[in-house]
Chain A
Amino acid sequence: MATVELTFSALPAHVRTARLVATAIARRTGVDEAILDEVRLAVGEACSRAVEAHRLHCPDEPVRIELRDDEGRFEVTVTDVAPSDDVAPRVLAANGNPMPEMAGLGLAVIAGLADDVEVLPGPKGMCIRMSWPASSDGVTATA
């Protein structure tokens, strides 16, 4: 089982970095090229949700993302430490004003994209675990 862990400050600009890292590792793990876009979008949605939750509740705490090659599956876990009762936080614009239009859409998109999704609210935050099929010999598959 190979694992990559990434923590990043709760800033919207870093969500793109997380997407790029997840896509690169998914490709290396052997996730089919045809579903890499889905991985990219679902990971972005989970990280966006976590970043906005942190911006509302604990802006100094980093968001954590774990990417695992787990016996033929590529598994991504995004963990936040914002209060878990706020499942669909309001998105804030750059000036701090709320953008209420998208509340809740992110989780719906993740559910529609990931092959397997678990949303686990905890006392200290929320954990979104997603996975997709990958070839058992990931690196060889992409060579």
Chain B
Amino acid sequence: MDLKLDHHSEDNLTIVDVEGEIDVYTAPRLRELLIDLVNKGNFHLLVNMEKVDFLDSTGLGVLVGGLKRVRAHDGSLELVCTQERILKIFRITGLTKVFGIYSSVDEAKEMHGRDK
């Protein structure tokens, strides 16, 4: 399956819906979207990975790159992910300590609202 990307804003938060496989072939598209969002002033990003079938280190690199960019503007990049096979790669690389990872968009929105 290819990669499908969509995004919308709610209050101060931009939700990026990702569906499909994030790998060395498709990751550049996600990277371009995150850069574009930051360049347009969206500094609080929530990447919904509930429909991601596959994620490799290239995808992780793109997410880390996005995090660096939003942090440069005192922003945030957090994730929604409950799939064990995707969470495993975050654990192996120690990135569970770097990203806020939530079990639903609603939970992430609630936490984001508290932090505002």
Contact = CB atoms under 8 A, between A and B. Distances in A.
Interface of B: 21, 23-25, 27-29, 31-32, 54, 56-58, 60-62, 64-65, 68, 85, 88-89, 92-93
Given A16-B21, A112-B92, A113-B92, A45 B61 contact: no
The main secondary structure of chain B at its interface with chain A is helix
22 contacts: A12-B25, A15-B23, A16-B21, A16-B23, A19-B54, A41-B54, A41-B56, A44-B23, A44-B56, A48-B23, A48-B24, A48-B57, A93-B31, A94-B29, A95-B28, A99-B28, A99-B58, A99-B65, A101-B64, A101-B68, A102-B62, A106-B57
A16 B2 CA distance: 10
Interface residues of A, number: 27
Interface of A: 12-13, 15-16, 19, 37, 40-41, 44-45, 48, 51-52, 91, 93-95, 99, 101-103, 105-106, 108-109, 112-113
A109 B24 contact: no
Contacts, number: 78
